[in-house]
Structure formats: structure tokens, C-alpha cells
Structure 1
């Protein structure tokens, strides 16, 4: 059987899907790296909502996907930008997601960290921004999870300089019950975060970021760097205080950053681990045995898919992630909160399918082919 897949130039090309299923992977805990998959949410396809409505979530399917990730030994980074925070999922929905996922993590013994931000605000004073962070931190801590402080659009808009970031983050870190992850999300992922840490110059911003960490190293479990700049991440990683981890959020260079060098390595908190979970877990288990070459042999070929999913406008990478979850059988439909299934073109989706199929990511490639054929037909592509 073959599929006719649309290319970016409007032509159709013939593609022959693979037929071998994804091999099963052991679920033993990962040892040498902490690996957190930022997980997507599954929309309720039967909810009568508009793009402006509060998100309608299929909780059963959403939690089942987290159990899938935990079963492979991965941790879950919950209610982060992969879950469409600020792009379809409002704070009310995120709070419910945190509570439900944290309870599920306790039930199965899964590792979880949850995003705390300020997305209940559209603006505000520094006092209001601090209060918004505190509200979300309380929800995370009361759920029994660790927090990841997400970058704040409100703070990016309201801060007058680096001193405001030092004040807000210092205030929050002093009251955290447990060490947290600080997330530096670059403007490629969210243009509203341009100039975060008080400067559009990345060198200046880096110094402010490191000053925040250095002032409270006992309250910082680690930092997540999502700048798509491997050199900057490595340089920053080498300057972190002892005991503070670097979690790569670089979906373009993750194999080399996780593998590391003679001076250290990055752990991982990545959106691309949503579709790559089982393969990434197998790769890290090789790394656990010291087999760096085997680790790279498994993960390096996935970078082409990741770069495709995260191509500009990068913030819409979630559409490809959810497509692959549907094709892999983790959900029954290709629908997203906020209607974001329409955020990528058919040629983009077709290429995502082709790359994922080539990597053998689908547990049932026949199901994936059938669902892709259905999607193509909806766009008017005939066999």
C-alpha cells in the first residue's frame, strides 16, 4: 500500500509506509539522566466550544497518556507550554490538570513537575504578578508536586529592568517549600517573552538569570534552557552552582546536550519527548551503561523530525505533537483545545507523519497509515 503525500510545493509524492511495529521497551527507571517529557493535553472532541471558550479536556485520555510516559521510565513535566498554556489552555484548566496529574503520579509512582506561571493575568503590577505566581505555586505544592516556574508574559511586559526580575524571583524562591526548576523560554517559542530577564541582549540576560540562581542555589533544583542555542546552554551549564541541574529544552540539539562532554551534561525537559518517549527511554538506558555511541545512534536520527515539528512559528509545534499522538493510537481523534489542529498546513503534517513513520515511532503502523489516509481525504487528497 502507498500514500500520496502533499509536498510544500503543492505536488503529490508517493510514499510507502513501513509495516514493522514499534518494538516494546522495558520500563526500568532511568539512572544517569533525569528525563522529563512535557506532555500535551487531549481535547474533548464532543464539547460544544469555540476558540475563545475555556478548554474542554478529555481527562481519561489525557491521564492515560501520562501513564504511557511513566510506563517507559520517563518523568512528566505537566502544564507546561506543550500542554498549550497560554495557547488554548487557561489557568483554570491548567490547575485542574495539575491536580489530576499529580494524583495520578502518586498512584503509579511517577515523577512529575508542574508549571507555575502567571497566565491568569494579562498585565499587572509587580505585586499582582507575584501574587499570581504565588497562587499557582500553592496549587502545585498542595498537589504534592514540584514546581517549575514558567516565564511570565505579564512580567516581560511589566518589568522595567533586571532588578524587577531579581525582586520577583527572589521573593518567590524564598517561600518555596521544595527546590524548583526555573524555565527560560526564548522568544522563538513565545514572542511575548522578548527581552526576558530585563534585556534583549542574551549575554546580559544570562548574567541576570545566573544572578537569580546564585542568590538561591538551595531553592533551585535546576534550570530549563529553551533558547535553541546549544553553545549558550553549555556555557551557562558550566557556570551553575554545584548541585543545580541544567535541563535542556533545546529541541534542535538535545542528543549532544544530553550526552554531554568532559565537563558535564544536561538533563532533559523537552516537548519532543512527547512523541519520542519510548525511543528516548531506550536511548538513555544505553547511556546508563556508558554506551554513548548507542545513545547517539538512537537519538540523532530523531533530530530531523524534531526540527520539522519546531520549525517557525515554533510555538505551534504542539499541532504536530498531537497529530503524532493520534496516529500512534494514544487518542481517538485529531482535535486540540483552542482549535489549534488547524495551526499547521497539510504538507507540514504529512512530512511529520513521514518522518515519524520512518523512525518506527508508531506502535501500530497500519493504524497510523489508515488514520493518515483519513486525514488526507478530508483535505481532498484522493488515493
Structure 2
């Protein structure tokens, strides 16, 4: 016996990836429906060897459905997630709407799987921001061993985190560089993204940080430990898929780089590729389509008493969004719903 699953926002990048991953991981599905806005009504989408035709989210009745994976913006989620939850369907939401709600668990299954059991207050579970998800997978096993005091992270985030229009903008601007008669103005971003980096993701806040940077701080505290101090600089780079992060960690206790490497090798969801030679590390291009969070360049930081540096790379459409949502559904099924 399996689950009745709705994928909301099924025509978007993340929604399509959710369908792919549900099939790849053989999630126990008895019935599945692809939901989208009316402008995408009737669009055909693949689910394994089946073809689904999207149905209208606005008129859909969630009564009798077990799990809804939401991959739509916060405004639409605000309207439809409570309706699904009130109908008895557990919502796993990829937007930022519920992440900071104290009554909604924020879950990365490799880090805090027990938190799914707190879903009942609103019948909603939140999926974290893509840049946070991959970082906390790496932080948690190290925190358990030596207690993290402070994290300094710089991100190198791909354009797919901004959606299809951003992918198209990078592609068109890249082609235009080689065609002097063509000009592609920046629309998605504040400056041209092709052959450039932009230290600005989401809106600016009063203290000079961006909302993306604030998210990494708040979400790390909620998922791992509220005592951890985090400072972030988030940068958009001309990469289509795959987020990278340079992470500096200060611990309460000394942690040798070799022991850290061993700990990470044994940790769930992590693949360590760390050779001190040309190419002995993972780049974002190499992680596309993979489930793992890849860790490279593990080394002591000699400028502080108990410090380490590492390089963290992951497919942001997978671990940063769709994969984590499906893993939450799996964890919910194993720990709470217990079907299949």
C-alpha cells in the first residue's frame, strides 16, 4: 500500500525534478497528480514511463490525498498550502513562506529527521533554502564531534536557483558576447550575469546583508543549533546548475583535518572527493544530476585555534530543493505515516 501524492507546480524546474526523483527512488506511490496554474493546464509531464497531464490547482480537492509536494512561490503557497493541509494532506513546501514559523518544522533528513514528527500543528513541513541545505549536511556530523562556534561562508550560486528565465538570460547573454550586433539587457538580475559574478541574491536588508544571506543564518540555527554564529556572503555566478560554497568553521574543540575527512566520509548524504592534486576536487558541473553533497579541499585553518576550511558542492535543483523534499516525504512515511 502506497501514498496518494500531489506535485504542485509540476511544470517548473523543481516540480519536474520532484517527479523524476519520486520515480528514481521508487517512492511508494499508489496515485499521483501533477498540479499547475491555469496557464499551464493540460501540459504533459513525464513520470517514469508514464505521461501525466497537469490539472488545475485552483479547483483541485486535496481531500483523501496523503502528501503534497509544493514547488510554487510564496504568494501562491500562502493561498493553497493551508487548503491542502486543512483537507488532511501533509504539505512539504519548497518556498520560504513557512521556514521561520515556530509551528512548522524545517527539515533536512540527514540532519534533523526527528523534526518531521512536529508536522501536526499546521500539517506543513518546510524545505530549507538551497544554499542552506547542502551546508548543514556537512556541518552536522562535524558539530556532533567538536561543537561548531562560528561559520563564515561564501556561496557561488548557479542561475537555476532563480528559475527558467534566469537560465535563459545567462544563455542569451553568453551567445551575445560572441555576436556584437546582439544585445541582451539584464532583466532577471541587476547586472549582466554572463562572464560576471553578482554579490547580490534576493533583496537588501537594513544591516546591508541580503535576504539570501539572512536565510542561511536563520535556517542553520533552526536546523542544526541556535548557538552557532553564521555570517554569509551570497554570490550569483554564471553557472547553469550546481551551487558551491567555501566554508570556514570554528569549533569549540580541536578537530584534525584527517579526522574531519573520516567523519564526513561516514556521514549520510556526503561524498568526499579530496585529493591534493590537480583536479582532486569536485566542481558544480560534475555534481549535476547527483544526489550527494560533495566535500573537497578539507584543511586546517591556522589563523584560529580550532578551525577548518572546506569546499561544498551540490546540485541545487536536487539536494537544494526536489531531492530534499522527497527525502522529507520518505522520512515522514517511515517515522509517522507508515504506509508502503
TM-score, with length taken from structure 1:
0.27
Q: Which has the higher helix share?
A: 1
User: Which structure carries more relative contact order (alpha carbon 8 Å, separation 6+)?
Assistant: 1
Q: Which has the higher strand share?
A: 2
